[in-house]
Structure 1
Amino acid sequence: MNRDHKHGHKHGHNQGQGQGHSHSHTHTHDDDFDWDAMADLLVLEGEAHGPYVQQAIAELQRLTAHGERTPRRILDIGSGPGVAACRLAAAFPVAEVTAVDGSGQLLARAGQRAARLGVGLRTRQAEFPSGLAELAELGAADIIWSGQVVHHVGDQQGALHALADLLAPGGVLAIVEGGLPARSLPRDLGFGRPDLFARLDVAMTHRFARMRAELPGSVAVVEDWPGLLRTAGLTEVHSRTFLVEHPAPLADGPRQLVRGTLERSRQSLGDFLDAEDLATLDRLLDPADPACIDRRADAYLLLAKTVHFGRRP
């Protein structure tokens, strides 16, 4: 999955959230960010965020249940290590599902995952959005899924037009954008100032705005995603928001994801946080500290993801 505008995917980030970005994404919006090095965390994110993806897939099944034909071709644009793509392949077993990403290493992980799970999955390396035209040779798609990719592109409306052009008549585009920031700890941690995560949200908002402004060809646009999909020529546009909830005490996978996103916040938000909040993050990440995220029984993971759907006439 290419979580940066140079690669060709962006998946799993929590835009505007204090814990990283996340694709949901653990995304941190660096122009030169090495998503290959983040593969393990992207897998953790994809697995922990599975509940919302499954609900969105159920909506896709509903939307395609009464069409002229069963979906035969599905693209996951910005697939990353293939967690969502494998879920799509399991849900639509007669379809040819292709994971598309700018990173060959992440696509290799996707292929390995599919083989392990016993689902059919093809992979295709392509930049986003510059490589989308190359995908036309695969044939028109009945479903396109793209999780938290479009906001990494300077011209978001142009990217949506390009995605819509890959759909077959009656095909459905589903993009994941927006939702609610993740929360994983109480408001008062027992040390430092309360409301750390509210300040992380503000810091991430500033960082996200800077990322958008610095993207090549950045075009300011009101991020009315249903409106943008309609402008791209799609109909039956609607949005649904799905909850992801992992209550305390956290299982190992979600806990590792929370640690990873806190580490990304510490690394990437230093310019936007004061010394006291940075010290609080240091304590949360220090394995020797009793307050470390690894030890806390009160850690949880709660977030919401919004998926916007539209059909090509």
Structure 2
Amino acid sequence: MSPAHSHSHSHSHSHSHSHTFHPGGPHTHDSAPDDSGQAEILDLDAEVLAEHIAAITAWLPLRSAPRRIVDLGCGTGAGTFALLDRFPDAHVTAVDASSGHLRLLREKADARGLGDRIRTVQADLDAQPWPDLGTPDLVWASASLHHMARPDRALADVHDLLAPGGLLAVVELDGFPRFLPADAPEGRPGLEERVHAVADRHHAEHVPHRGADWGPILAAAGFTVEDQRTIAVHIEGDRGPAVGRYAHAGLRRLRGGVASALSPEDLAALDELLDLDGPHSILRRGDLAVRTERTVWAARRA
């Protein structure tokens, strides 16, 4: 399968993000209590969607290869390592609020022999002032801006941080991926969409910047938006066992936030999917696929 089916857009978008209780998106403020659970999902996201992340880094409209990169809300390092692979002469400053995520990133870096190319900084990007992050040529913000209380202020800080002519890449996921076909599971078809509907209601209240069209917000912060692209993701489950683990970890984390709002029948069906030893375990299904979209904005400091 092609790593990314891409098409550019010149009109505005409004996507609905459903990183319910922050699965699949790095924290830029206080970490969730279940730091290890989120780290597992971030690692699976990086593994399953590696080709798509690489396609985004290859697409960036750069004038020259960046030497100094900042990864804002780096999580456990999906973007950091993709950028280091793409730009072999670059150094990355990886920023996150979670000490646990940064520790895992550092362990991966050392294991890969990349420790001397990565600097980790623990910081709450909603706090002022920011720590010294240098003068990067490229800032990468993947699934992090919509978690911030004041993304407009953060973008103004990024604008001042960047070297003249530097590029900001904003990557946002169109909701946490779907994995099941519409007629699944047997007896409760459409279960996954009902789970996400509950999650979306939560986010409408608690994550007001999800689904934002970042183009006008970037322009207001002084950036020139040079390009915008939506990348469709569709990865069949037979690509490897990580797809099933990703589906299980994601739905398990979603369950923690939506259980009280589901019908007893839906909750029972969800628990059957999550029971690794049961006959209806999601890991036993042969019809899984990862389906979502990512939108990327490439914005330059004048």
1:97 alignment partner, one of 92, 101, 120: 92
Letter in 1 for 2:34: D
Is the 1:17–1:200 Cα contact (8 Å) retained in structure 2? no
Deviation track 1:216-246 (CA, whole Å, cap 9, x = no partner) reads xxxx798221111111100134321223332
Structure 2: distance between partners of 1:32 and 1:106: 11
The 1:111/1:21 distance shift into structure 2, 3 A limit, reads: closer
Question: What TM-score, normalized to structure 2?
Answer: 0.84
The 1:246/1:21 distance shift into structure 2, 3 A limit, reads: farther
Is the 2:233–2:292 Cα contact (8 Å) retained in structure 1? yes
Q: Are 1:123 and 2:120 matched, yes or no?
A: yes
- Aligned residues with identical type, % of pairs: 34
Q: Are 1:296 and 2:296 matched, yes or no?
A: no
SS in 1 for 2:41: helix
Q: Are 1:52 and 2:49 matched, yes or no?
A: no
Corresponding position of 1:134: 131
Q: 1:277-288 counterparts in 2 under 5 A?
A: 277-288=266-277
Deviation track 1:26-45 (CA, whole Å, cap 9, x = no partner) reads 99x99744324532232112
- Structure 2, unaligned runs of 5 or more: 1-14
Structure 2: distance between partners of 1:269 and 1:180: 15
The 1:21/1:241 distance shift into structure 2, 3 A limit, reads: farther
Letter in 2 for 1:249: D
Is the 1:171–1:311 Cα contact (8 Å) retained in structure 2? yes
The 1:118/1:245 distance shift into structure 2, 3 A limit, reads: farther
Q: 1:1-313 counterparts in 2 under 5 A?
A: 16-17=17-18, 22-23=23-24, 25=25, 32-60=32-60, 63-64=61-62, 66-67=63-64, 70-119=65-114, 120-130=117-127, 133-135=130-132, 138-179=133-174, 181-212=176-207, 223-249=212-238, 251-313=240-302
Worse overlay, 47-56 or 180-189: 180-189
Worse overlay, 222-231 or 74-83: 222-231
Deviation track 1:35-74 (CA, whole Å, cap 9, x = no partner) reads 24532232112221222211110122xx22x35xx41210
Deviation track 1:187-234 (CA, whole Å, cap 9, x = no partner) reads 112523321222122111111122236xxxxxx798221111111100
Is the 1:36–1:103 Cα contact (8 Å) retained in structure 2? no
Displacement of 1:300? 1.8
Is the 2:18–2:203 Cα contact (8 Å) retained in structure 1? no
Letter in 1 for 2:232: L
The 1:232/1:18 distance shift into structure 2, 3 A limit, reads: closer
Is the 1:20–1:261 Cα contact (8 Å) retained in structure 2? no
The 1:193/1:105 distance shift into structure 2, 3 A limit, reads: closer
Structure 1: distance between partners of 2:294 and 2:87: 22
Corresponding position of 2:12: none
Question: What TM-score, normalized to structure 1?
Answer: 0.82
The 1:55/1:131 distance shift into structure 2, 3 A limit, reads: farther
Letter in 1 for 2:222: G
The 1:19/1:260 distance shift into structure 2, 3 A limit, reads: farther
Structure 2: distance between partners of 1:222 and 1:79: 20
Deviation track 1:99-135 (CA, whole Å, cap 9, x = no partner) reads 1112222112111212222332221222223266213
Is the 1:246–1:301 Cα contact (8 Å) retained in structure 2? yes
SS in 2 for 1:183: coil
The 1:83/1:31 distance shift into structure 2, 3 A limit, reads: closer
SS in 2 for 1:240: strand
Displacement of 1:19? 7.8
Equivalenced residue count is 285
Letter in 1 for 2:215: P
Displacement of 1:293? 0.4
Structure 2: distance between partners of 1:207 and 1:52: 28
Is the 2:20–2:200 Cα contact (8 Å) retained in structure 1? no
The 1:16/1:278 distance shift into structure 2, 3 A limit, reads: farther
